[in-house]
Amino acid sequence: MPPFTSHLFICGNQRAAGHPRGSCDACGTGALREAFKAELKRHNLGPLVRANGAGCLDQCEHGPVVVIYPQAIWYGRVQVDDVSRIVRETIIGGQILQDLLIPAEKLNCRG
């Protein structure tokens, strides 16, 4: 079987209201993950591209957060309205969306 060309991890972490680190999916709907799955299906990208729900990716202050491997592209403040553009321009087109990119120097690397 060929390897994935891209594997997206979509944070769906939900914390109690008022938690200082917030929640990527405060309502617990999984809407962002479902939007990615639907858009990948619409473009017939499976099985080479996968979208999986993830727990906290430790970039909470930039949430909602999506990371794409193996390219290690971190996107923050991702909304459902961004999904088609991410799939079209990043996954298919190989372009990094600067308005969503979390710069490397802003990533938490607590080790």
User: CA dist 50 to 18, 21, 86, 94, 111, Å?
Assistant: 32, 27, 13, 16, 27
Exactly one of 24, 35, 87, 100 binds ligand FES (CB under 6 A); that residue is 24
Among 35, 49, 60, 83, binds ligand FES (CB under 6 A): 60
Q: Report, in Å, the least distance between residue 63 CB and ligand FES.
A: 4
Which range of residues in 2-10, 40-48, 55-63, 89-97 is near ligand FES by CB under 6 A? 55-63
* Choice between 32 and 49, CB closer to ligand FES: 32
In the list 8, 40, 49, 65, the residue contacting ligand FES (rule: CB under 6 A) is: 65
CB of 62: closest distance to ligand FES in angstroms? 7
Q: Which of 10, 80, 14 is nearest to 52 (CA)?
A: 10
Nearer Cβ to ligand FES, position 92 or 107? 107
Residue type, 62: H
